[in-house]
């Protein structure tokens, strides 16, 4: 199979396995979704949903969040990875949203990327999932799978994103982003598969003998 044929095979199988994928992070509005995505770095979605249940009851807007203050935000999210850094970013982002965006989450990728603690991936997730605009956020799962499946050389996350956007139709980017992640967590984990174990890897490369060493994000 060439790259385009592999992409078509991947898309077909992912649609069979994970039809109509739903975003796992619970939220109330654009702001709470942004905060949930920010918190999800190096933290499971399950953990994020646990801590945000009480956090979003206390504060569901930039004004309310800023009013809580960094210490109280930290108390809510302290069981998340990088909690001190995230608490600081949440307060700074809340402040910036009030000062520059009238308390509203911007819809543009470049404006989102200017917010403290919000990198390109987080901004892409918000744009794709909440504002329904074409974006293909690449996390560690997607970066790993795209390499194992011969869809990118994996030189960088930026390159992986570019390569995936070239082989998949933009109207499917949102679903594929989630489907890649769900497949990576379930069948093609970092340690559970080496490019020769899971169904997708074996189907795409039936004659592959050597383990695939993927470049990290």
Of 187, 29, 44, 214, the C-alpha closest to 179 is 187
- Identify whether the C-beta of residue 71 lies closer than 8 Å to the C-beta of residue 43: no
Active site (annotated) includes residue 71: no
Q: Which two tokens stand for residue 185?
A: 């967590």
Cα–Cα distance for residue pair 160/142, rounded to 1 Å: 8
Q: Which is catalytic among the residues 67, 78, 139, 175?
A: 139
> Mapping DSSP to helix (H, G, I), strand (E, B) and coil, where does residue 84 land?
helix
Catalytic residue among 3, 75, 88, 121: 121
Residue 206 burial by Cβ neighbours in a 10 Å radius (0-12, 13-18, 19+): exposed
Our answer to whether residue 194 is catalytic in this structure is no
Active site residues: 121, 139
């Amino acid at each position: 199979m060439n790259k385009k044929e592999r992409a078509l095979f991947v898309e077909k199988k992912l649609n069979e396995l994970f039809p109509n994928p739903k975003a796992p992070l619970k939220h109330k509005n654009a702001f709470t979704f942004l905060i949930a995505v920010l918190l999800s770095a190096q933290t499971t979605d399950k953990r994020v949903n646990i801590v945000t249940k009480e956090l979003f009851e206390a504060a569901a807007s930039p004004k309310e969040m800023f009013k809580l203050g960094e210490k109280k935000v930290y108390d809510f999210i302290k069981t998340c990875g990088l909690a001190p850094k995230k608490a600081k970013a949440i307060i700074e982002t809340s402040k910036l949203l009030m000062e520059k965006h009238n308390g509203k989450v911007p819809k543009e990728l470049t404006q989102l990327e200017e917010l403290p603690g919000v990198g390109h991936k987080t901004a892409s997730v918000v744009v794709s999932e909440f504002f329904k605009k074409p974006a293909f956020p690449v996390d560690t799962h997607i970066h790993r799978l795209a390499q194992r499946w011969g869809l990118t050389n994996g030189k960088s996350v930026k390159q992986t994103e570019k390569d995936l956007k070239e082989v998949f139709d933009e109207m499917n980017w949102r679903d594929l982003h989630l489907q890649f992640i769900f497949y990576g967590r379930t069948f093609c984990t970092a340690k559970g598969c080496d490019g020769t174990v899971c169904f997708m890897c074996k189907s795409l490369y039936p004659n592959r003998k050597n383990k695939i060493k993927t470049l990290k994000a």
